[in-house]
Structure 1
């Protein structure tokens, strides 16, 4: 089975569904990760830092066992200045090259404008008429950013919590940013696990599932 994770920023994949990625891979699935904001911007102009962060993402992907990672160069915290067609077109190539059966991406209600833009652009291709190969679309949460998140789908990650946290630890330039530490992400996984009587879990909102 092919699985595609669409993440706005480098580390969103580990925060939102790192344990789930590891679980998919343990079950023999091929997981691909696509980062939208992998470039510089007026706020983050340091090209050397961009490459450092990409190397962190590659290390996290290797640790998780991801099949392939894709980086786009859209500017960080400036996606709302980019014509949506450019982002939609970029996602079209990835989605139709891979043809995933399962897709993970951001939830619609988020304080981060970049996350909202990526959600809207992704949904263009999640319509059954556009991507009939997509059988399940799940929306993940980003701690400290996603709002009004009421999950209706849980994945227990008891056996993969350490892998998730190790992957997140690869992002040494991002740890402790806006309270998103390894410790707080572990506590969130504990909380979501408690909701389903498991030790650890990641939670999602089902956008669509075809059985």
Structure 2
């Protein structure tokens, strides 16, 4: 079983960027955690609502644990030390094998700070680190294209509908993005060979991926 940790700045960031990948990890038998650095609302009542939305979405996507830090929105710059300490605690609770977080070159400052601080900790505490593309990523060039199925996309859609409080941008927009993403980054001759129904993608950029030799014992080496 692989221990997967996803660290985001705000509620719904993970589901928007990689809802299909989250569920695929869970279905594979991996332990999936999501840690959100911000409660996503300035009031206790609003934070409680955002938390309930995350937990409902996480249940649909196989998230085993959803946790939160109390960093206020738009105060990530002045709270960097607090963020760093919180992350070391999160990593220390259950050391992850794979970490996902925001791409550092992002229009949202909270996303940028999250990416920087997660990278600092993950390169010390985890084997593998990936950035995901968010709607605000700038000049993102993927090194990994995760192609989902209709069932995975349906589950992602159901999870996004849990975020009813977020009305500034319809969640269906992100489903459309998933449907065209693979054609943006994969040549049409390759897309034509995809299995039937695999028409939805989420994008990732590898920061570090450690692979161990399949046969490390010299006695099993081929002479």
Is TM > 0.5 for Structure 1 vs Structure 2? yes
SS of residue matched to 2:63: coil
Runs of 4+ off more than 3 Å: none
Q: Highest Rg: 1 or 2?
A: 2
**Cα displacement (A) at 1:95:** 1.1
- Are 1:34 and 2:31 an aligned pair? no
Which of 120, 142, 160 is residue 134 of structure 2 equivalent to?
142
Matched residue, 1:91: 87
- Are 1:171 and 2:160 an aligned pair? no
Instruction: Provide the TM-score with structure 2 as the length reference.
Output: 0.85
CA RMSD of aligned residues (A): 1.3
- CA deviation digits over 1:153-211, x for unaligned, max 9? 1111113111111111100011x42x3x2221111111123344240011011111111
Matched residue, 1:152: 143
SS of residue matched to 1:48: helix
Greater relative CO, 1 or 2 (CA 8 Å, sep 6+): 1
Whole-angstrom CA distance in 1 between matches of 2:75 and 2:161: 26
- CA deviation digits over 1:62-99, x for unaligned, max 9? 111111111111001221121x2211110001112211
**Cα displacement (A) at 1:149:** 0.9
**Cα displacement (A) at 1:39:** 5.9
User: Which runs of no fewer than 5 residues in structure 2 stay unpaired?
Assistant: 192-197, 212-223
**Number of residue-to-residue matches in the alignment:** 198
Matched residue, 2:153: 161
Tell me, yes or no, if the aligned pair for 1:39 and 1:73 is still in contact at 8 Å. Answer: no
- Are 1:124 and 2:124 an aligned pair? no
User: Which runs of no fewer than 5 residues in structure 1 stay unpaired?
Assistant: none
Matched residue, 1:81: 78
Instruction: Provide the TM-score with structure 1 as the length reference.
Output: 0.89
